[in-house]
Amino acid sequence: EKRIGNKEIDVTKLVNLNFTEAQKKDSRNFQEGQVVQFNQNVHGYKRGSLWIVESVNDKGVKIKNDIGETKPLQKMQVLIILK
């Protein structure tokens, strides 16, 4: 067995859940821990940025980025839901 180095690194593979536009607009389809990626620049979100679903309740979905910033997820069509 050949190796590049001595360290093993665990990685997480994100898979597109292929939500329909209707599914993206319904907060019942989101779960805590899911990853949301924006596929276009939108006010307040950069294209390609990854956000984690922090909470889901009857008021909507709250997402959090890697620097701890939290925002309510707007019902947008420009995102990809990953698991």
Q: Residue 72: pLDDT band by 50, 70, 90 thresholds?
A: very high
The predicted-structure confidence for 9-68, as pLDDT tens digits, reads as follows: 888 888 999 989 888 888 999 999 999 998 888 888 899 999 999 999 988 999 999 999
Tell me: pLDDT of 77 over 70: no
- At 78 the pLDDT is 65
Is the pLDDT score of 1 beyond 90? Answer: no
Which is more confident, 73 or 75? 73
In whole angstroms, give the CA distance from residue 34 to residue 13: 12
Contact 39, 79 (CB under 8 A): yes
Give the single-character DSSP code of 7. -
Structure tokens at 60: 């909507």
